[in-house]
Structure 1
Amino acid sequence: MATVTSKTGQAVERVSFDSLLKRRLFYTPSFEIYGGYSGLFDYGPPGCALLTNIVDQWRKHFILEEDMLEVDCPAITPEEVLKTSGHVEKFADWMCKDPKTGEIFRADHLVEEVLEARLKGDKEARGQRIEVDEAKDAKKKKKVKDIKAVKLDDAVVQEYEEVLAKIDNYDGKDLGALIVKYQIKNPGTGGDVLPPVAFNLMFETNIGPTGQLKGYLRPETAQGQFVNFAKLLDFNQQGMPFASASIGKSFRNEISPRSGLLRVREFLMAEIEHFVDPEGGKKHARFDEVKHIELDFLDRNTQLEGKTNITRMSIGEAVSLKMVDNETLGYFLARIHLFLLRIGIDPKRTRFRQHMANEMAHYAADCWDAELQSSYGWIECVGCADRSAYDLTVHAKKTGAPLHVRQVRDEPLKFEQWEVALDKKKAGPKFKKDAKAIDDALNNLSQELLEKLSLELREKGKVDIELPETERRVELEKDLVTIEKHQKVIHTREFTPNVIEPSFGIGRIIYTLLEHSYWYREGTEKAAGDTEKRGVLSFPPIVAPTKVLLVPLSNNPDFKLSLQKLGTRLRHLGVSSRVDDSSVSIGRRYARNDELGTPFGVTVDFQSVKDDTVTLRDRDSTKQVRADVDTICNAIKSMVDGKTSWADTQKELPEFTQQEVD
């Protein structure tokens, strides 16, 4: 059975961990009373609060800090837009089918699952304890049917590991070859599967009552930003570079949703499109602020060697070595890293993996994924791509919209240029319907060829040109065409910006944050040999769903006024709190809110009624301090805003040593 490695290094069965998340209503399967539907989940109250707080920090970290222009565009997108962007033709994964059972698999996941299972079986055969040993009943053993204790040759083990390291680089043909070569079957039945075929991941829909206007639910938020580029540029007073941002739902009709929140059909994305001048090496004005930050890199060359060795270096060094293509891309990799640290992601379980050639979009100059390690392996949670000028170029070509930047040059550009002109009044009657094709052919000639033809025109009095579409050649006399060199002075410059795109999967970040934040402490012994394990989610206060638990010592009515005062004071400070006045012990009330990740607890007791003092408890250490209500509330506000830590509060306020009671 798979295990979750906790924040403190403890091993926790993933079934137990997932049960906690669902029991405490962080998330739950959608439409569960109807049996549930794969790839669809509802967020409960703590899940919604966690998501909202992470998005709020994302806005502050990126939109506010970088002066980005936020837009909110429709999820329903006309087919024509997504045809132009290439999604209709190319937004697909490879799937294969078991013809006997009708079961569908995503081809790369099937290859991964089977080869990883065989490697686990090899470890078991070599006497190494593996997770499958923990499967105690027949149902669990059936799920891991393909794992057999069979020792593999060392060469085969190495070959499997190399294939897994390069799995993202294989296309449909390659995956089909791997399925045949390694005799990969349906893990559940052992049946053969058909060769992989492409499956477009977009949800199709019709717009309007006639059904004639076809559309799709967007698979990303980016296209809405690209088609609004000219308006955003105007709003930004033609200033370059600049960035737009969008936060919203996206939809992908996943072939085989699995792994809870990690692979779903509807999810929240936060995307940035940073528009930059391609001239000058895509430098970034603030790169010096982050160039010292060290990241763990898994570059494409290492992966192509069948290895997963990490290289740790500063982002400045990575850019100077051209491992990362340019400063702007490097700047955002560093900023992504800082954001993940801010919300509580474990830096030791974070790496940046470079896309290999086959998995990278054909128009991309470079692309890196921020991958976070979980009990499901390394998970892509943030993609950061240099999309070059592809998107703006294809939309401009399709619509004729001016999706470019026009700037006045500091110094006029002076140069000589060959120009050709066809006398249309004479060419029309002579060539009739071919006249336009001749004019187009002349205007598409290179400067080198025009120079050659000008010499030919002077010497022979005629030129011979080819009409590309018909491959016919026509002869033009000098009275029909002129080719001359002219002095040109250009005061403005037009260019299509390149785009650096950081793209965040919020649901995946939430799940890995939950794993990275989880640990448990031992409770008091309830009976001989029985020790209770109490789960804790150590979220940073800035993203914790609820910041403070208010706990009255008992249901004594004298405590109500103090609780009301506390709650009102915290609300005015913008700090969320909740009251737990249930009949169970204070220790148990704190314990169940530790499971919800509540970082602080305030206890109201008889002393509070006398002198307006309360105790403040820290979730992780369970240490407590005591002070008056205003002091405690201000200390909480400072910690919630990230200005101070619990260690700072402990130094400033007197410790309270009374133990919690179970």
Structure 2
Amino acid sequence: MGAKIKEYGITAPDTKNPLSDPYPFNLMFQTSIGPSGLSPGYMRPETAQGIFVNFKDLYYYNGNKLPFAAAQIGQAFRNEISPRQGLLRVREFTLAEIEHFVDPEDKSHPKFGDVADLEFLMFPREEQLTGKSAAKKKLGEAVSKGTINNETLGYFIGRVYLFLTQLGIDKDRLRFRQHLPNEMAHYAADCWDAEIECSYGWIECVVLLIVAYDLRAHSEKSGVPLVAHEKFPEPREVEKLVITPSKKELGLAFKGNQKMVIEAFEAMKETEALEMKVALESKGEVEFHVCTLNKSVTIKKNMVSISMEKKKEHQRVFTPSVIEPSFGIGRIIYCLFEHCFYQRPSKAEDEQLNVFRFPPLVAPIKCTVFPLVKIEKFDVVAKKISKALTTAGISHIIDITGTSIGKRYARTDEIGVPLAITVDSTTSVTIRDRDSKEQIRVDIEEVASVVKEVTDGQSTWADVMWRYPTHAVSHTDEEPADEE
């Protein structure tokens, strides 16, 4: 590659400076293990491998049945050449991954019907290659037409869409883009990115792919078969390809490379093996490419026996396929901040007020509690409500500083608190919605249950508006928040 760079005079596009010769670069961080530091180790670039190496135990815990899934969240580390774009490209990040193991011959999903009617922006590879834009498509149609490989992958795409939109991601700035052939991982059967549009453009935040590579790779290196079994009600007679290498002849011909040639035989597909059988019978020898040697070798008829034999099988042994949704938590949170932030004018319209419209379900602080004015009887009621909210497990802030109510509303709006409880009586209080600024009046004993109902997602603000009397605002609703 270095010679070609010099031959064609390729330079840096911006500076036109000459490029250095290519050199190896490991995207994994190396560290030293043990007191002597002589054992090298590598920090994990993803969380998934811990699930794959434990497949045998997980399969056993699920009663030796498919499908089943395992999930893990934790830190991952990648030696990025150029970290940039805030939380979007970093060397240490939080990754959440699901590994859903399925029978490769049955990728249907019993709950696919629950998401089949979802319609959202999709960007299949054919439309990318022809210069078209992403367009809204029904998930069920995309699966039935083969745009999405199978029902289980489609089901997880639908669930990721629901997850992101319920978090607060704008559905019109969310699309699912299929990988192009030149960017598809060599081991993936299909791959889609959930991309979210933000100030940096369209950002890949979730990857969904279907693979069988990892289990096979761990099996080959460890010698432990990571496979599943399907027992037949009655034995079945099947034709099986049998490849029997002659270790003696291969050893004489290839010496130390014998093992790699045998491994290449074992990796052959049935069609390739049968073509070799025909060539050996007609010509006596055939050229055979061995990937690990990076060259072709001559195989003679006495070096390998290839045949189709009838055998009775009581079970099918196979490597499961895996549907893997992988979530970049930092990227999702960054895009959520951008999508939830907006500004609105103060009541006097002389200043723009900052607001985060986090959905109640994900807002870190669910509500604020403060007396309308600083008098002892209102402080007592505020503390009583705070105690009830704590008992109900609702995160909240109590503010009895006496700052004007408008400033306290603005202060909580700009940190995304969805509800504000104002104590203006000893028997009832008002609850204010952050986005509509509408208020309802609720008895003190019911406050905690109403807040929990809304913040747990059991009811919407519109639902509770029907049940409780509205409160006409008689005090200053909003003032600019003091900077602290």
Instruction: Judge conservation of contact 2:143–2:150 (CA < 8 Å) in 1.
Output: yes
Q: Secondary structure at the match of 2:446?
A: helix
Structure 1 gap segments, 5+ residues each: 1-172, 457-462
* Partner Cα separation in structure 1 for residue 341 and residue 308 of structure 2: 73
Alignment of 1:189-268 (within 5 A): 192=17, 194=19, 199-268=25-94
Task: Output one character per residue of 1:478-531: Cα deviation in whole Å (capped at 9) or x when no partner.
Answer: xxx999986521001100011111011111111111111111121144xxxx81
Give the secondary-structure state (helix, strand or coil) at the position aligned to 1:509. helix
> Cα gap change, 1:420/1:343 in structure 2, threshold over 3 Å: closer, same or farther?
closer
Q: CA deviation at 1:558?
A: 2.4
Distance 1:648 1:557 in 2: 33
Task: Give the Å deviation of 1:588.
Answer: 0.3
Corresponding residue of 1:18: none
- Give 1:237 deviation, angstroms: 1.0
TM-score (norm 2): 0.84
Opposite residue 337 of structure 2, the aligned amino acid is L
For residues 109-138 of structure 1, give each alpha carbon's deviation from its aligned partner in whole angstroms, at most 9, with x where no partner exists. xxxxxxxxxxxxxxxxxxxxxxxxxxxxxx
Q: C-alpha distance in 2, partners of 1:420/1:263? A: 47
Superposed counterparts of 1:401-550, under 5 Å? 401-415=224-238, 471=298, 487-525=310-348, 531-550=350-369
Kindly indicate whether residue 120 of structure 2 is the aligned counterpart of residue 295 of structure 1. Answer: yes
1:277–1:450 CA distance, 2 compared to 1 (3 A): same
The question of 1:556 aligning with 2:375 is answered yes
The question of whether the paired residues in 1 share the 8 Å contact of 2:104 and 2:320 is answered with yes
2:397 is equivalent to residue 582 of structure 1: no
1:58-79 Cα offsets, whole Å, 9 max, x none, are: xxxxxxxxxxxxxxxxxxxxxx
Q: Which amino acid aligns with 1:331?
A: Y
Q: Give 3-state SS (helix, strand or coil) of 1:352's partner.
A: strand
Given that residues 420 and 450 in structure 1 are in contact (C-alpha distance below 8 angstroms), is that contact kept between their aligned partners in structure 2?
no
Q: Please tell me whether residue 323 in structure 1 is matched to residue 147 in structure 2.
A: yes
| Residue 377 to residue 465, structure 1, CA distance change in 2 (3 Å) | closer
Secondary structure (helix, strand or coil) at the match of 1:260 reads coil
Question: What stretches of structure 1 move > 3 A for 4+ residues in a row?
Answer: 176-180, 195-200, 415-424, 443-456, 463-476, 481-487
- Provide Cα deviations, 1:143-184, integer angstroms capped at 9, x if missing partner: xxxxxxxxxxxxxxxxxxxxxxxxxxxxxx99x99975xx73
1:15 alignment partner in structure 2: none
Contact 1:185 1:193 in 2 (8 A): no
Of 270, 278, 296 in structure 1, the residue corresponding to residue 96 of structure 2 is 270
Report the aligned-residue RMSD: 3.7
Q: Note the C-alpha offset of 1:413.
A: 1.5
Question: Which sections of structure 2, spanning at least 5 residues, go unmatched?
Answer: 291-296, 480-484
Q: Is the 8 A contact 1:291 1:316 kept in 2?
A: yes
1:592 corresponds to 2:411: yes
| Residue type at the aligned position of 1:354 | Q
Q: Quick check: 1:418–1:451 contact (8 Å CA) kept in 2? A: no
- The 2-side partners of 1:275 and 1:656 are apart by 53
Residue 452 of structure 1 and its aligned partner are, at CA, apart by 7.8
Residues 181-216 of structure 1 show CA distances to partners (whole Å, capped at 9, x for unaligned) of xx7315xxxx63636957433222111122222122
Q: Deviations over 1:527-546 (max 9, x none)?
A: xxx81111010111010010
CA 1:304 to 1:466, structure 2 compared with 1: closer, same or farther past 3 Å? closer
SS at match of 2:83: coil
Distance 1:485 1:194 in 2: 54
The share of aligned pairs that are identical, in percent, is 44
Distance 2:275 2:18 in 1: 56
Partners in 2 of 1:454 and 1:355 — Cα distance? 40
2: CA distance, partners of 1:409 / 1:195: 60
Paired residue for 2:170, among 346, 370, 374?
346
**Distance in 2 between the 1:627 and 1:472 partners?**
86
Q: Secondary structure at the match of 2:351?
A: strand
- Residues 234 and 196 (structure 1 numbering): CA distance in 2 closer, same or farther, change over 3 Å? farther
* Partner secondary structure for residue 378 of structure 1: strand
User: Is residue 108 of structure 2 the alignment partner of residue 283 of structure 1?
Assistant: yes
Q: Distance in 1 between matches of 2:123 and 2:32?
A: 42
- Counterpart CA distance in 2 for 1:559 and 1:271 is 48
Contact 1:615–1:626 (CA under 8 A) maintained in structure 2? yes
> In the alignment, which residue of structure 1 is the partner of 2:463?
648
Following superposition, the deviation at residue 632 of structure 1 comes to 2.4
Q: Aligned partners of 1:368, 1:483: CA distance in 2, in Å?
A: 39
Q: Distance in 2 between matches of 1:256 and 1:451?
A: 51
Query: What's 1:185 paired with?
Result: 14
Q: What is the CA–CA distance in structure 1 between the aligned matches of 2:9 and 2:417, rounded to whole Å?
A: 48
CA pair 373-278 structure 1, distance change in 2 beyond 3 A: same
Q: Please state whether the residue corresponding to 1:394 is helix, strand or coil.
A: helix
